[in-house]
Amino acid sequence: MPFTHSNSTVLRKELRALLLLAVPVALSELGWMSMSVVDTAMVGRLNAVAIGAVGLGGILYYTIVLFGFGLLLSMDPLVSQSYGAGDIKDCHHTLHQGIFLAFALTLPLMALTYALPEILLRWDVRPVVVLAATPFIRTLSWSTLPLLLYACLRRYLQAMRRVQPVMIALLTANLVNALGDWALIYGHFGLRAHGIVGAAWSTLFSRIYLMGYLAIYIVLYERKSHNGLFQHRPRLDWQRIGKMLRLGLPAASQILLEMGAFAAATVVAGKLAPAALAAHQIALNCATLTYGIPLGIGAATAVSVGHALGSKDSQSAIRVGWLGIALGAAFMSLSALTFLLFPTQIMRLFTTNASVIAIGGTLIAIAAFFQLFDGIQTVATGALRGMGDTHSSMLLNLLSYWLLGLPLGYALCFHFHRGAAGIWSGLSLSLVILAATLLIVWNRRAKSLITALPLVPSSATDVPMAW
């Protein structure tokens, strides 16, 4: 590792600073991921078709809207490097452009979402699943604007190390979502039972809550701190928008390729029996939930690397990148062990259907195999994003998922009759290759930083944690 000869005191300080940032961010990601898990668990008592419809509709919607999320990821390096350099005014300017971008993206993404059911029928997904998923998807599409505005406000806060409000917002939003699911799916508090559409309405309300919570926090904080956010009228800056798109398009494409791979796998599973699709969706939710922790560590690593580079401290940027990767690998190793030891028990948390439990237990055991590699590739992607490299992850996702993993999974599923397990085997191989190649790219970029930037004694840990 590049930091093995560094002073142990500096390492401890940087590890502490990274953990102070990563823990709340990871909990925030966990809160974000757990919303879909709660939706799946809540409709799981209906039938296998309901589980498949919510899972299929949810992942396809997220694949579309997360493209907008990816564009807003450009705020990570821009705001964090400006903050590391002490330029708060420029942080505000990027926030304004992010809000403009969120509004511009909303209608195109909603239009694409509305077309999803017709696309699913052309892909020969079972009509009974499409029929159930259609109202769920179209209700969910109305949450696009609050979701994009929440993403913009969150990127701004995280890049400036104000992570506690993001964590609180997501944890409390889960309570809003769970209560809404209970009331709207099954009909409580005098409300009519809406079935799986009730889960979509509950998600919509929770996202409006998320956006409102962060907006109120920013208004109150900025008025108290007198940082000047409201002193100037926001103006559209095409040059800054262009810079955000140049950084954000590769990141958005990487997310689209990664989420699209799992969405495509879900569509393929949709051609199988409802029990197989339900088992696939439950196992995918479990893998997504554990993925939230390294995703949060990766976001914290991106911010910390950006702060170090803004302070012109290349050694700190390198050390923090490797520390983040090690943390992600450590957590996912524990996750893999849990999946291996308790696959059937995990499935029983979601359903009592014996066929679904049997198939899903096998899929969760396969997921245990790729947990470590998923953690490594996720944090390495964040470390590269912190230094402004969003192209490498995009290209490597295209190669590993779409040119190798998905074709192999399709072949194993249908030609070798391995069913859903064949799809997951192909995805596992994709993650192994992706993790290995991203580690190589990060190592090369880290070495190039040493010659590109001067070495200074300060580190990103000198930046105060503004909770």
pLDDT digits 0-9 by tens, 98-116: 999 999 999 999 999 888 8
Residue 3 lies in a domain: no
Q: How far apart are CA 158 and CA 29, in angstroms?
A: 12
pLDDT attached to residue 451: 66
Residue 357 pLDDT > 60, yes or no?
A: yes
pLDDT attached to residue 96: 92
Residue 371 pLDDT > 80, yes or no?
A: yes
Q: How far apart are CA 84 and CA 362, in angstroms?
A: 47
pLDDT attached to residue 460: 36
Residue 429 lies in a domain: yes
Residue 387 pLDDT > 70, yes or no?
A: yes
> Any idea what DSSP says for residue 350?
T
Q: What is the mean pLDDT of the chain?
A: 83
Give whichever of 22-26, 221-225, 428-432 has the largest mean pLDDT.
Answer: 428-432
Q: How far apart are CA 234 and CA 217, in angstroms?
A: 19
Residue 1 lies in a domain: no
% of the chain surpassing 90 pLDDT: 24
Residue 224 pLDDT > 90, yes or no?
A: no
Single out the residue of 302, 208, 324, 304 nearest to residue 254, CA to CA.
302
Residue 423 pLDDT > 80, yes or no?
A: yes
pLDDT attached to residue 107: 94
pLDDT attached to residue 464: 34
Boundaries of domain holding 153 = 8-462
Cβ contact 25:167 at 8 Å: yes
Could you give the number of structural domains in the chain?
1
> Any idea what DSSP says for residue 6?
S
Residue 83 lies in a domain: yes
Residue 335 pLDDT > 90, yes or no?
A: yes
Residue 2 lies in a domain: no
Residue 20, token pair as written in the block: 């102070």
Core vs surface per residue 90-110: b (16+ CB within 10 A) or e:
bbbbbbbbbbbbbeebbeebb
Entry pTM? 0.71
Residue 266 lies in a domain: yes
Question: Looking up tokens 């005098």, which residue turns up?
Answer: 190
